[in-house]
Homo-oligomer: A and B are copies of this chain.
Amino acid sequence: MFKQRVFIILTYLKIYMNIDKQKNFSEWYNTVLDLAELSDIRYNVKGCIVIRPWAAKTIKLMYEEYEKELERNGHKPVIFPALIPKKNFDIEKEHVKGFSPEVFWVEKAGKEKLEEKLALRPTSETAMYQMFSLWIQGIVDLPLKVYQSCQVWRYETKATKPFFRSREFYWIEAHTAFATEKEAIEQVKQDMQMTEHVVFEKFKIPFIFFQRPEWDKFPGAQKTFAADTLMPDKKVLQLPSTHLLGQNFSKAFDVGYLNSEGKKEYVWQTCYGPAISRIYGAMICIHGDERGIMLPFEFCPVHIVIIPILTKEVAQEKITQYCHSVYKIISNFGYRTILDESENTPGYKYNYWEVRGVPIRIEIGIKEVEEGKVTLALRDKKEKEQKLLVAVEDLSQRIRFEANEFNKRLEKRAIDTFQGLQTSAYSIEELEQKAKDFGLIKIPFCSIEANGETCAKFLKDKYSLDVRGIKYLDAEKPIERKCIVCKKEAKEFVYVAKQY
């Protein structure tokens, strides 16, 4: 008897958490990855993790959502090999400089040495654009807009963190070619809109798009725009980025066509890379609470869990039957539903599904059976205010309503938190002070051209603050302000933040 109790307490502890996300973010994140069984860091290749079913299912749903959005916007799927010959990398010189330190190389197969060194793709420009050069012959072949859902490998030397940064990660890369620069610029804007539609409207992750400074561009790009969000420890996390490549790659890879006058024209290109596994990590951290993870309703592997409350011996069969019929009704609505008939206690089950973020729990005991109702509990509400008694015939409408409300609350909390972590500073002293409590801080700054790098380096070395760039939308320009570092004329308001 005693042994059994100890066992129950131990397994209970195994699934119960109560950690303040803001105060102990690292502990919170590691615990949640473990208790909700999202990932396993014990895989024996450094910097690589295993993504377990609960996370893999959501990531799959996120991919579907993003792919739909890309296809709606005229992108078509392709599948390119993961192996890229070294010679392809050597073609665009900025690109090779940027990526060489991060590339995994394949030089042997079986017992043979390969004729040529092959890279595991860190990104696919150099694989794709040689093919673009074959596919694009005339203006009729433009625009070309393709995407692929795949993994990439980068030999990170920074500390890895599950979903945030690992040596193999899962993304979508979309690549385009246009006849004119104007269309390429329009594509960059469309990429930002897609990010808004999916990352904010669907995944409920707030962000700001920044134009990155000259020294922080994608290797080979003319301009880089990236969405930044904030984590509970106030550090920024980069989400999708889109790059105006101009004609850098098209000239290097000879991607062009003959215009009506028979003259060769090079195409204008862009690329866009939402890292789905990282966005998943952001979603976990932004929406979770002290009891575990939360996810927007549509992206939870299970929408609704039904838990029978079997108190009186006599009514057990009745309750079980009722649970099965409710399960059938709800499943037929199209919701991913689980009826948890395991031998664990209701309390254990509550915690088990709460830590995993199932948005709606249905409790059914003898009272519910007798009244033809169910008790509905919402994942994000506190114990006392979370329960609602709902008649079975009202369930369809009520679940739809509550799912929608749940998502709205998720979104509102995320926006409030994100905005609450933004501020501005007009002197180094103010910046130093505010950096303790805020995430993204707006400052007057000399320039995001190459000549601003010295000031950026100063902020990085002294305060660990990175210059994230200027806001892409609603960018204010400083009027008669000085750069808070060099005191020269401030051409821009930039945002600074700590990053991983």
Chain A interface (Cβ within 8 Å of chain B)? 40, 42-45, 48-53, 56-57, 59-60, 67, 76-85, 88, 100-112, 118, 120, 127, 130-131, 134-135, 146, 148, 151, 153, 155, 167-168, 170
Contacts and interface: CB of A to CB of B under 8 A. Distances in A.
A78 B56 contact: yes
B77 A45 contact: no
If over half of A's interface residues share one DSSP class (helix, strand or loop), that class is named, otherwise mixed; here it is mixed
Given A45-B85, A81-B49, A131-B42, A107 B107 contact: yes
Contacts of A59: 79
B45 A118 contact: yes
Given A103-B109, A168-B83, A44 B130 contact: yes
Contacts of A102: 109-110
14 contacts: A40-B135, A44-B130, A45-B84, A45-B85, A50-B81, A50-B131, A56-B77, A79-B170, A83-B153, A83-B167, A102-B109, A102-B110, A104-B108, A110-B155
A49 B80 CA distance: 7
Contact of A81 (B43, B53, B118, B130): B43
Given A76-B57, A103-B110, A131 B43 contact: yes
A489 B347 CA distance: 66
Number of copies: 2
Given A40-B131, A43-B80, A83-B167, 7 more contacts: A42-B134, A45-B83, A45-B85, A48-B81, A50-B79, A57-B77, A81-B168
Contact of A51 (B48, B79, B120): B79
Contacts of A48: 81, 83
Contact of A109 (B56, B104, B118): B104
A310 to B, nearest CB: 19
Contacts of A78: 50-53, 56
Contacts of A84: 45
| Minimum-distance CB pairs A-B, first 7 | A53-B76, A109-B155, A51-B79, A48-B81, A56-B77, A101-B110, A105-B108
A135 B84 CA distance: 35
Contacts of A76: 53, 56-57
A49 B130 CA distance: 13
Nearest to A128: B50
Contacts of A79: 50-51, 56, 59, 170
